[in-house]
Chains A and B, each alone.
Chain A
Amino acid sequence: MIGATIRSAVENSIHSYEESRLASLLAEFDRPWAIKFVPSRWAAAYVSPGRLKISETPALTWGTATYVTPISFPLSSALYGRIGLVTPFDATGWRIFDATQAPARAAYVNWVRVQPAFSDLILTVHSTHANHLLRNRFREEFAIDCVLFHPDQEAEIHTDRGNHVWLAVTDWAATRRIDSGMSFRLSQAKFVVLIDEEFALHESNGLPIQQSPRIIERVTETIATRSCMEVTAARADPTLSHSIISHYQSNAYLHVFIEP
């Protein structure tokens, strides 16, 4: 129930994958690749290729979707965990809504404004769920396979909110409804990257963080003397205790690492 002008503004912001910014971002690779960082407890689940989880939680930028980053920005989503899961995908014929562009964002906002429930979106306490449902409805109404957007959370140094692009990929269930569960479109994900860094996801007041500082590197870069030791060697090293005390006494730190 929307007017032709609003509808065509949205349609004008939807491009086929082949004509989209996403295709240009991935042009240098043999095929489209994506990466997603997750908490380390999920590493074991992705030693062999597996399907990524479709995120269904309400506080996500574009609704129920699988959130990934094009491989062109390999560390951009490190905020979300230490394990980088990498998967190829086939985007042939996808309808891409490019919300990195201001006209596309304006088209979405104008679509929201004429929704019957718009008043309830802005006048009630239900806005988180309201936005979630409206974003899903928008993507279903326009059969959007993928939304491109600039990150709205940033891992210090790793994420560039102005230039990086993230993806919300839709899986479709029967009758063109957005699917939930595990993604069939991003289904060959493997544990490929392990990063020695962690980030906080929330401010101390509990709100989602906007820019998260590096927790480890910010400290290590202030310590002039460092050394490292491979973890199996460290476990077997009878002098490890003495070495640690020595690091303490010389204001150094010891990085016990997993051999790649």
Chain B
Amino acid sequence: MSTVLSLARDFIERLSNPVYGQAVNEDYGMRLAALLRDEEFARQLNEEVAQLDDPSAFTSFGWLWLMGWARSKNLTLPASLLITLFDQSSSVFVRSAILDLAVDAEPVEATNIQDVREFPDRFLATVMAAAVERDGAQGFAPGERRGELERLERLPATTAAEATLVSLLQIAKPKTLSAASVLLRHKWKGEAELNVFFWTLANALDDETRREWLARVSAQGPKNGL
């Protein structure tokens, strides 16, 4: 990490981490702003931010601030770094912030795509593939009826896919909604559970909002046996 970024890192951590308290957060926000009045410092910082590749360079609070900064200043962070951060985070909101930064507002044609790995946006294809590959190992046959405990043990863990789906929906860009549709129809062992999850969310909405969701995301109805 360069000198400028090393210096800025301490400031960024102290201005972004609620553990330090609002007074410290605000104070360091002002201090960093004072440094950023120097155009050369700001230019160098922006340049170095765009070249970051180490996911351990900041805490999640620091990354969230940095992503907000990058977003407002129209900076890009390396896709490989964002994919790693996305994979490491369990927070839907961190994931949403990453998607918001990584995905542009352009639409994409994905109506006929059934497999997340074939999604035209490589970033989205990668994070969706990671979500279904990691958690789908422990499957069970649809309609299988055994003891409840055994069945629960064999349910595929869809946690990562659910968090990815929610993040895609939350950002609600044309591309992320297309990706959500593909994720919901992707054939994997957690497909049915993920669709049930989606419908559980959708059914909790008022009628108008649910219609809005369904108009923009194509999802299958919940499958039986769940």
Residues of A within 8 A of B (CB): 1-6, 38-39, 42, 45, 53, 55-60, 64, 80, 114-117, 119-120, 124, 126, 128-130, 133, 136, 173-175, 177-182, 201-202, 206, 208
B23 contacts across to A, CB distance below 8 A? 39, 201-202
Query: Residue of A at shortest CB range from B208?
Result: A3
Q: In the complex, A2 Cα to B172 Cα: how many Å?
A: 11
> Do residues A5 and B208 form an inter-chain contact, with CB atoms below 8 A?
yes
User: B61 — which chain A residues lie within 8 A by C-beta?
Assistant: 58, 129
Which residues of B are interface residues toward A (Cβ below 8 A)?
A: 15-16, 18, 21-23, 25-27, 29-30, 33-34, 36-37, 61, 64-65, 68-69, 71-74, 91-94, 96-97, 105, 163, 166-167, 169-170, 172, 201, 205-213, 216
How distant is the Cα of A181 from the Cα of B105 in the complex, in angstroms?
A: 24
Is A120 in contact with B169, judged by CB distance below 8 angstroms?
Answer: no
Chain B residues with CB below 8 A from A124, complex form: 91-92
A114 touches B166 (CB 8 A): no
Chain A residue at minimum C-beta to C-beta distance from B69? A180
In the bound complex, residues from chain A placing their C-beta under 8 Å from that of B92 are 117, 120, 124, 126, 130
Query: Are A56 and B29 in touch, CB under 8 angstroms?
Result: yes
Nearest residue in B to A6 (C-beta to C-beta)?
B209
Residues of A contacting B216 with CB < 8 Å?
1
CB atoms of A114 and B209 under 8 A apart: yes
**Is the beta-carbon distance between B205 and A57 smaller than 8 angstroms?**
no
CA distance A6 to B61 in the complex (A): 31
| Separation of A152 and B220 alpha carbons in the complex (Å) | 45
A117 and B29 contacting across the interface, CB-CB below 8 Å = no
CA distance A83 to B19 in the complex (A): 25
Residues of chain B within 8 A (CB-CB) of A133 are 93, 96-97
| Bound: A202/B97 CA distance, A | 29
Task: Say whether, besides A5-B206, A114-B205, A116-B201, A129 and B29 are in contact (CB < 8 Å).
Answer: no
Q: With A and B bound together, what is the CA distance between A178 and B100 in angstroms?
A: 13
Q: Which residues in B have their C-beta under 8 angstroms from that of A64?
A: 68
Docked complex Cα distance between A254 and B29 (Å)? 36
- Please, which residues of chain A bring their CB within 8 A of the CB of B64? 58, 129
Q: Do residues B208 and A56 form an inter-chain contact, with CB atoms below 8 A?
A: no
Shortest distance from the beta carbon of B201 to any chain A beta carbon, whole Å: 7
In-complex Cβ contact of B33 among A177, A178, A182 (8 A): A182
9 A-B pairs with least C-beta separation: A3-B208, A57-B25, A116-B169, A3-B209, A120-B92, A173-B72, A116-B170, A180-B72, A114-B209
A24 to chain B, nearest CB (A): 30
Contact pick for B16, options A57, A206, A208, CB 8 Å: A57
Which one of B22, B68, B72, B201 lies within 8 Å of A201 (CB-CB)?
B22
Most buried by B among A4, A120, A136, A173: A120
B211 and chain A: residue at smallest CB distance: A3
B208 touches A6 (CB 8 A): yes
A92 to chain B, nearest CB (A): 23
B205 — which chain A residues lie within 8 A by C-beta? 3, 114
Q: Check A59 against B18 for contact (C-beta < 8 Å).
A: yes
Tell me the complex Cα distance, A178–B73, Å.
Answer: 10
